[in-house]
Amino acid sequence: MTHTAIDSGAEFDRQVRRLIERDYPTTAGLTPQQFTALVAPLRNLTADIGHGVGEPGTGHIPFLLVVTRNVVAIEQMMPRTTLHGKAKPGFVDRSFEPGALERFVTIKEIGLPGQRAYLLLDIERGEQFCGAVPNDAMDAITAKGRSLLTIEEGIAMITHFPGILVKNKCFSLGGSRSGDRRVPAIWISRHAPKLGWCWEGNPHTWLGMASAGSRRSLRSSV
């Protein structure tokens, strides 16, 4: 896998600018300065990340700045995503019945390190699980000591790196569940990113399972 060396602080700053450009501060009821102040303390936590940024299509990202639904609602995050080089906004599939997204919460095995913003490290798109039964993919990831991604983390991935969402290499987000058999996922529909869901027992050749190595905030690391 080819990597391009980066300065982690500069990459963090780029991700902050990306969220400001995508109007996260206004949506959260904050000024750009207030939003920057909210996430700025996380910048120092990137200092020991010695990876590079994967070339487009590699499916690996060293770290992501994740803002949770406590700051910006999921329904407002998705329209701020696009495919690489495209302008059509992402959307939430109508198969989510009213109030359903609020019930898709972080599974207890994860334990998020920050209520408003944190870092996600060593992210893999998970295309090796394309065609696998989601339940089996989730078990395999857990057995490796890796962590399933939440809905907010999946949205962060395509917000900061739109080129990672490509045809036949889309991904499920097993870190957010609602107590039933549905597993949320992000794929391409109508030439835009779509947040939908698939059954935990139904494999899809174009849908893998995203995962991460760890999470990091000022108060804890998991």
Tell me the pLDDT band of 222, cut-offs 50, 70 and 90: very low
Q: Is residue 81 part of a domain?
A: yes
Q: Is residue 87 part of a domain?
A: yes
Tell me the pLDDT band of 220, cut-offs 50, 70 and 90: very low
Give the C-alpha distances (Å, rounded to integers) separating 33 from 38, 69, 160: 9, 20, 20
Q: Minimum mean pLDDT among 53-67, 114-128, 198-212: which range?
A: 53-67
**50 versus 102: which is more confidently predicted?**
102
Interacting residues of 7 by C-beta distance below 8 A, sequence separation 6+:
none
Q: Is residue 47 part of a domain?
A: yes
pLDDT of residue 151 exceeding 70: yes
pLDDT of residue 74 exceeding 80: yes
Q: Is residue 221 part of a domain?
A: no
Q: Are 42 and 119 in contact (CB under 8 A)?
A: yes
CA atoms of 194 and 207, how far apart (whole Å): 13
What's the whole-number mean pLDDT along residues 80-94? 96
Interacting residues of 85 by C-beta distance below 8 A, sequence separation 6+:
162
pTM of the entire predicted model: 0.93
pLDDT of residue 3 exceeding 80: no
Average pLDDT, the chain: 92
Residues comprising the chain, all counted:
222
The total of structural domains in the chain comes to 1
pLDDT of residue 70: 95
Which domain covers residue 161, as residue numbers? 3-216
Q: Is residue 34 part of a domain?
A: yes
pLDDT of residue 180 exceeding 90: yes
Tell me the pLDDT band of 51, cut-offs 50, 70 and 90: low
pLDDT of residue 4 exceeding 90: no
Tell me the pLDDT band of 50, cut-offs 50, 70 and 90: low
Q: Encoding tokens for residue 212? A: 């991460």
Q: Is residue 195 part of a domain?
A: yes
Q: Is residue 222 part of a domain?
A: no
pLDDT of residue 172 exceeding 80: yes
Q: Give the whole-number percent of the chain exceeding pLDDT 90.
A: 86
What's the whole-number mean pLDDT along residues 70-95? 96
Tell me the pLDDT band of 112, cut-offs 50, 70 and 90: confident
